[in-house]
Amino acid sequence: MINVPEMFGSCVFNDEAMRKYLPKGTYKELKKTIEDGKALDINIANVVAHAMKEWAIENGATHYTHWFQPMTGITAEKHDSFISPTSGGKVIMEFSGKELIKGEPDASSFPSGGIRATFEARGYTAWDPTSYAFIKDGSLCIPTAFCSYTGEALDKKTPLLRSMECLNTQALRILRVFGDNTTTHVTTTVGPEQEYFLVDKKVFDQRKDLIYCGRTLFGARPPKGQELDDHYFGSIKPRVSAFMKDLDEELWKYGILAKTKHNEVAPAQHELAPIFDTGNIATDHNQLTMEVMKKVAEKHGLVCLLHEKPFAGVNGSGKHNNWSVTTNTGKNLFEPSKNPRENTLFLVMLAAVIRAVDDHQDLLRISVASAGNDHRLGANEAPPAILSMYLGDDLKEVLRSVLSGEEYVSEGKPVMQTTAEVLPNFTKDTSDRNRTSPFAFTGNKFEFRMLGSAENIACANFIINTMVADVLEDFANQLEGAEDVKTAAETLIKKTVEEHKRIIFNGNNYSDEWVEEAARRGLLNLRSLPEALPLYTSEKNIRLFTKHKVLTEKELRSRCEVLLEKYSKIINIEALTALDMAKKDIVPAVSSYIKDLAETANVVKQVAPELVPTAQTDLLRKLTNLLNCFVKKIDALDKAVVGAKDIEDEAEIAMYFKEHVLAAMQELRAVADEMESNMSAKAWPYPSYGALLFSV
Ligand code: ADP
Ligand code: MG
């Protein structure tokens, strides 16, 4: 039997370990630092470092590393051992406060978007005491922020921490307006639901596209996809179940609150949801979760695919970012309570989010923009690239009452009448689920559903935090001087909802009518990264980020540059992989199959001349025509790739890759898939979609 409470957090220098290993006074000082966000005195840091090292060595660690999140989107680490030489050729294990607080990795090989030329290689990592250190593979991992020699953020964590600060500042002002003088700190809570695919490692290893790109670039549709809806919540196969069990245990050791696991819609697709945590820790944990998923999969002879669209024709993978705001006294500011109509503080918070989403549709879209996610948003599947909010019937009624001044008719929580006597009746949730909404209010939190499965959630969260903080600041400015806060707030809520109600949409976001309706409402529809990214550095956005000190203009521009560059590079890699597969494997395979057909046709002609023309000659003609066409498409893709070299501007390059390279890849693929459908399985050089999707 496994003892989960004992196992949970066993690899983490958490509160319990701190209490045990730190002198009482140091523990208190450290806690204060964590809670108030103050800088730590070096003497205290020395004591903490020593205790951390003792704990780490007792738990099998020999090294330490500053663990950080550069703009690649994944995590980075450089390991140093604790050893320090002594006289007599021996070593002792040492770790100082200075080493804990600050690291100096060479920053020159991380993307910086022009912030740092390679000759200014120095970068710093700085300890983030608000996220616990942990042991991974024999190294003490210290969560850190990463910046350049000149202090610019080069990572995903820094703006997230800054945005949490500014949300704290503005939300506290609102709380004070409403007479709350006890709350001293407000933080965001985040629960990211993570989708992923599992495929057999042996099958994966035979596909260059999966190896280099994480997604298939070719592949004819299998006879069966997801049309029977038989995978979603279906019983979990033994091999997957063993993986999930192992995964849970590994995550629990890291103090990650892995809670829910189930099969998802597409074959071979699954989901894991943790219990929510503060925004910063949830982000670190999600990064760690993705890493652990991959490692545990390997142990089971599987590969975990985190790409947003590994397979055409079935659902891709996303990440649902559940977000709320909570006080240090334990109050969720998005809890509507029994009578939301009378809950002015809640309505102010709600109005702030409505306005923020409407004002910053562009930023929310940008926060989830990646080459992988472009295959979902605004393409064949959902959620669409258009931002809108779902509030549910209850809040719709509240807002109707706010706007009309008429009385709010609360239905109370409706009772669900079950139809069989033996089943108990139960109360229904106040809002139904609207699975198609990109930004849905779900009871006491918002669920932002546009994130891609592989993305670092820091970006979406620092953007949500900043845009909401910005509106709260304006609200606080208006309400702080008011004589009668309640009346002033009512007026403000009404005005805000009036002005921004176009963003609320409770219907089906996947329908074509919505696309037209959204256009009539003047909502943005940014279908791809190259269309969205140029808006990142608009005047509005520069003002927003610099005003709240979340990003400087230079940092913002560099981030935009990094995203554009990454997009083009990814499509370039995909194109080169497609060309490699086409020229080296597909053309030879089809040619040799045609040769087989020709030989068989010749034999038939000699043995049974009355049967000519034969089935082989028909097929031979068809495949030869397709192959001729395929070779032309190869040529076109080759030319498209080369064409990118003449463009200088990053935004133009990205657009070029989308319009020319990606388009040429799609045309190439269509012909390949047609040939695959007409060939013997043995003659095709790669495992089929069927083998990939149904192999586990
Ligand atoms: P569903 O699949 O219906 O969206 P789940 O229960 O799988 O629902 O996921 C809901 C997620 O929302 C969980 O990660 C949960 O911890 C998180 N969550 C619940 N309450 C909050 C909150 N106040 N703030 C942030 N996240 C929350
Ligand atoms: Mg969800």
Find out whether the beta carbon of 324 lies less than 6 Å from any atom of ligand 1. Answer: yes
Q: Does pLDDT of 432 surpass 90?
A: no
DSSP 263-307: E-SSTTEEEEEEPPEEHHHHHHHHHHHHHHHHHHHHHTTEEEE--
Report the C-alpha gap between 616 and 31 in whole angstroms.
Answer: 77
Helix (H, G, I), strand (E, B) or coil at 233: coil
Residue 183 domain flag: yes
Q: Quick: pLDDT tens for 461-497.
A: 999 999 999 999 999 999 999 999 999 999 999 999 9
Q: What values do phi and psi take at 89, rounded to 5?
A: 70, 20
Among 525, 551, 577, identify where a domain stops: 551
User: 573 and 657 share a domain?
Assistant: yes
Residue 19 identity = R
Pairing of strands 186-200, 277-278: antiparallel
Find out whether the beta carbon of 281 lies less than 6 Å from any atom of ligand 1. Answer: no
Residue 572 domain flag: yes
Q: Quick: pLDDT tens for 541-572.
A: 999 999 999 999 999 999 999 999 999 999 99
**Residue identifier of the C-alpha nearest atom 14 of ligand 1:** 191
Distance in Å from the first CA to the final CA of the chain: 27
* Domain limits for position 101: 4-155
Confidence of residue 413 (pLDDT cuts 50, 70, 90): low
User: 102 and 126 share a domain?
Assistant: yes
User: 124 and 273 share a domain?
Assistant: no
User: 537 and 587 share a domain?
Assistant: no
Find out whether the beta carbon of 432 lies less than 6 Å from any atom of ligand 1. Answer: no
User: 148 and 171 share a domain?
Assistant: no
pLDDT at 680: 95
User: 435 and 543 share a domain?
Assistant: yes
Residue 558 domain flag: no
User: 376 and 441 share a domain?
Assistant: yes
464 close to 476: Cβ distance less than 8 angstroms: no
Q: Which ligand is nearest to the CA of 438?
A: 2
**Residue identifier of the C-alpha nearest atom 17 of ligand 1:** 191
Q: Quick: pLDDT tens for 93-128.
A: 999 999 999 998 877 778 887 776 545 667 899 999
User: 30 and 142 share a domain?
Assistant: yes
What's the CA-to-centroid distance between 311 and ligand 2, angstroms? 22
Find out whether the beta carbon of 118 lies less than 6 Å from any atom of ligand 1. Answer: no
What's the CA-to-centroid distance between 188 and ligand 1, angstroms? 13
Q: Quick: pLDDT tens for 24-37.
A: 999 999 988 887 76
Find out whether the beta carbon of 264 lies less than 6 Å from any atom of ligand 1. Answer: no
Residues with CB under 5 A from ligand 2 (ion): 193, 320
Q: Quick: pLDDT tens for 575-596.
A: 999 999 999 999 999 999 999 9
Confidence of residue 511 (pLDDT cuts 50, 70, 90): confident
**Residue identifier of the C-alpha nearest atom 5 of ligand 1:** 273
Instruction: Give the best-scoring range by mean pLDDT among 214-228, 386-400, 560-574.
Output: 560-574
CATH code where residue 77 lies = 3.10.20.70
Q: Where are the alpha helices (DSSP H) in 37-154?
A: 42-58, 97-101
Q: Does pLDDT of 412 surpass 60?
A: no
What's the CA-to-centroid distance between 433 and ligand 2, angstroms? 9
pLDDT at 208: 98
CATH code where residue 531 lies = 3.30.590.10
What's the CA-to-centroid distance between 192 and ligand 2, angstroms? 8
Q: Quick: pLDDT tens for 243-264.
A: 999 999 999 999 999 999 999 8
Q: Quick: pLDDT tens for 164-203.
A: 999 999 999 999 999 999 999 999 999 999 999 999 999 9
Residue range 635-655: mean pLDDT, rounded: 96
Residue 560 domain flag: no
Residue 589 domain flag: yes
What's the CA-to-centroid distance between 42 and ligand 1, angstroms? 39
The overall average pLDDT reported for the chain is 92
**Residue identifier of the C-alpha nearest atom 7 of ligand 1:** 273
User: 56 and 170 share a domain?
Assistant: no
Q: What is the DSSP letter of 535?
A: G
Beta strands in 408-488 (DSSP E): 415-416, 426-427, 439-441, 446-452
Residue 556 domain flag: no
CATH code where residue 603 lies = 1.20.120.1560
Confidence of residue 640 (pLDDT cuts 50, 70, 90): very high
Residue 18 domain flag: yes
User: 525 and 619 share a domain?
Assistant: no
What's the CA-to-centroid distance between 442 and ligand 2, angstroms? 9
User: 31 and 97 share a domain?
Assistant: yes
Find out whether the beta carbon of 443 lies less than 6 Å from any atom of ligand 1. Answer: no
Q: Does pLDDT of 416 surpass 60?
A: no
User: 142 and 171 share a domain?
Assistant: no
pTM: 0.95
Q: Which ligand is nearest to the CA of 274?
A: 1
Residue 199 domain flag: yes
pLDDT at 35: 78
Report the C-alpha gap between 38 and 2 in whole angstroms.
Answer: 39
The residue among 613 and 525 whose pLDDT is bigger is 525
pLDDT at 264: 87
Find out whether the beta carbon of 14 lies less than 6 Å from any atom of ligand 1. Answer: no
Q: Which ligand is nearest to the CA of 332?
A: 1
Find out whether the beta carbon of 193 lies less than 6 Å from any atom of ligand 1. Answer: yes
Among 320, 322, 431, 465, which is best to mutate for testing ligand 1, by the most ligand atoms less than 8 A from CB?
A: 322
Among 167, 189, 276, which is best to mutate for testing ligand 1, by the most ligand atoms less than 8 A from CB?
A: 276
pLDDT at 236: 87
pLDDT at 602: 94
Instruction: Give the best-scoring range by mean pLDDT among 67-81, 87-101, 358-372.
Output: 358-372
What's the CA-to-centroid distance between 324 and ligand 1, angstroms? 10
Kindly state the percentage of the chain with pLDDT values over 90: 79
Find out whether the beta carbon of 320 lies less than 6 Å from any atom of ligand 1. Answer: yes
- Tell me how many domains the chain contains: 3
What's the CA-to-centroid distance between 446 and ligand 2, angstroms? 10
Find out whether the beta carbon of 190 lies less than 6 Å from any atom of ligand 1. Answer: yes
pLDDT at 663: 97
